[in-house]
Structure 1
Amino acid sequence: MIGRLETVVLDCPDPRAAAEFYAAVLGLEIVREDDDWIDLGPPGGGPDDRRLSFQLAPDLVPPTWPDPTVPQQLHLDIAVDDISAAQDAVLGLGARLISDDHDGFRVYADPAGHPFCLTYG
């Protein structure tokens, strides 16, 4: 092993909005915040916990997947037990459904346009 995963970073025009969206989806909390950066981690977590981070990118061009004009660049797979309840929850938080014609997963965009999948089954 050369290193360990510290965080996955998503560029976004509004780090606070993106962090609040994923905090609600994943049950995480804000563990660090600067003017242009926010880290999420598990509640009561320690310094070695993996994080999900959001970096200010005011000129971000959101992915247009599946249209290849602007590739998806990165996406998260989020495992759920009840796809219908999870879909209702993420849509209520501002996500939009991109595609639901796959076995075992559905594709969404978060409020900033980043694709993510809810996986089930």
Structure 2
Amino acid sequence: MAIAELGAVVLDCPDPGALAGFYAGVLGGTVEGEGDWVDLRTPGGPSLAFQAAPGFVPPKWPAPDASQQFHLDLTVPDLDAAEKEVLALGAKPLDTEDRSRTFRVYADPAGHPFCLCAC
């Protein structure tokens, strides 16, 4: 028997509404709320929440001396098509040169690393 149920994954960021909008563009779903806390209700999946963090410093990737803490793996049917779309939404490539791999690494507009992974 589980002790708890996952309510949401929460990302600290400088602008919760803008980052929720980015992930809504990537994952679909409904953005709810405004100000210091914004939720993204994804279709059929867990919620993402975005919390204002004054003085936010984005994680470094890759940086063995400065842990990224976590990242999101987002599965897609077509890496090339998904890459074009996330870049148009404001993602930045971090590790995308090896096209033979089944994943590519990007940063969202606030600097959090995420991977597009072939399903």
Calculate the TM-score normalised by the size of structure 1. 0.88
Q: Where does 1:14-33 land on structure 2 (aligned, <5 Å)?
A: 14-30=15-31, 32-33=32-33
Q: Where does 1:43-82 land on structure 2 (aligned, <5 Å)?
A: 50-82=46-78
Matches of 2:76 and 2:63, distance apart in 1: 26
Instruction: Name structure 2 gaps, 5 residues minimum.
Output: none
Matches of 2:5 and 2:48, distance apart in 1: 14
Matches of 1:14 and 1:70, distance apart in 2: 23
- 2:38 corresponding residue in structure 1: 38
Which of 86, 90, 94 is the equivalent residue of 1:94? 90
Instruction: Name structure 1 gaps, 5 residues minimum.
Output: none
Whichever residue aligns with residue 114 of structure 1, its letter is: H
Check whether the contact 1:105–1:117 (CA below 8 A) recurs between aligned residues: yes
Asked if 1:118 corresponds to 2:113, the answer is no
Whichever residue aligns with residue 104 of structure 1, its letter is: T
Whichever residue aligns with residue 92 of structure 1, its letter is: A
Check whether the contact 1:62–1:70 (CA below 8 A) recurs between aligned residues: no
Check whether the contact 2:91–2:106 (CA below 8 A) recurs between aligned residues: yes
Matches of 2:59 and 2:83, distance apart in 1: 20
Matches of 1:42 and 1:19, distance apart in 2: 11
Count residues in correspondence.
116
Calculate the TM-score normalised by the size of structure 2. 0.89
1:104: how far off? 1.1
Q: Percent identity?
A: 55
Whichever residue aligns with residue 20 of structure 1, its letter is: G
SS of 2:33's equivalent?
strand
